[in-house]
Structure 1
């Protein structure tokens, strides 16, 4: 049976409270009792919305954090209509991951819901699909204005850029340094820019003449 607006609000309050609890104390020490106190929720309410208990709640937290990854990049991610807009998106991604450092709530939640299960893979795939679709949409918009070469496959280019970002994030989570993430974004965007008709404009890489 679909939830009522009040029920949806209660469920969301529980998920947000659990997410905050994980950020504050980590997933290993998460107790349902603490979530109930934090969200002013009774045990019967919590198990009404999450009959699978802690594992089901953690999966809901993972979906919530996955949505935040996309939401935190807006409105820049959905407005990649100029090179200035791409730079703003790049800067926002770097700033977000610099601020969170090695403490990634999404990574923590996904890694603790029974490992690489079908459910966690589905959450991760949904996130990556949404991210790729918006990057590909930006590439298509730039192709329509000639700023990116028409011969490029937007979906393939978006996957490559996203793979670079994820690799950079993984290195940041391991070392606490954002240099790899910055390099992945800069090289990926420079590659796209070098294919368009505006590649020799101010700020674009200049061609090297052979002697």
Structure 2
């Protein structure tokens, strides 16, 4: 049975591995690097990850996928209006601009998320869960009269995720969040219904 201390040690190993991968990449990160960074020995590492490197990389993938999702809360669960979408957009852009190469999504896109079929499955589950959350937000915004009713919620959610992942990919190669912000702005401009001024009817004449 896992103890609180054991869970903390396991988490420390996973976080150390994630930090090493962000800085050095999967191919250049060794188990010795992880042990050094987490202040653990090989015996401890193999106790929690008896299958070694592959099992640890899968745990890192799961950890980073959870971070991508959790870092968006509480905004992601409250996408019911134009102002809520704008707040969420601002959070996404700021987080990825600030985190840069060290953002969890970058690790998934550029590294561990495509390292093995199991890691790809974790990334696919993240995208599915993320798309469902965005789809629910789009549907709620449409129901509130603030979202374009002609848009397909599922396809629009997929486009938003594509804009984010594409923007982060450009961020990784250029250091600029400009494309990420532009992509999200384009999606939100298409999604949100612009408030039109009411016509003024004159009773004169």
- Tell me, yes or no, whether TM beats 0.5: yes
Conservation of the 8 A alpha-carbon contact between 1:13 and 1:39: yes
- Aligned counterparts, 1:80-159, within 5 A: 80-108=79-107, 111-113=110-112, 115-159=114-158
Counterpart residue number, 2:8: 9
TM norm structure 1: 0.80
Q: Distance in 1 between matches of 2:137 and 2:56?
A: 34
Counterpart residue number, 2:69: 70
CA deviations 1:11-39 (Å, max 9, x no partner) are: 22211122233345544442323322433
Gap change, CA 1:168 and 1:201, over 3 Å in 2:
farther
CA deviations 1:76-133 (Å, max 9, x no partner) are: 1111122111111101110111112244454346644595531221121112112111
Conservation of the 8 A alpha-carbon contact between 1:62 and 1:110: no
Deviation larger for 147-156 or 119-128: 147-156
Q: Distance in 1 between matches of 2:153 and 2:108?
A: 31
Gap change, CA 1:46 and 1:124, over 3 Å in 2:
same
Counterpart residue number, 1:39: 38
Gap change, CA 1:113 and 1:134, over 3 Å in 2:
closer
Of 192, 196, 199, 1:200 maps to: 196
Q: Tell me the CA shift for residue 150 of structure 1.
A: 3.5
Q: Distance in 2 between matches of 1:9 and 1:63?
A: 16
Structure 1 residues without counterparts, runs of 5 or longer:
203-211
Between Structure 1 and Structure 2, how many residues are aligned? 198
Structure 2 residues without counterparts, runs of 5 or longer:
199-205
Counterpart residue number, 2:21: 22
Deviation larger for 171-180 or 182-191: 171-180
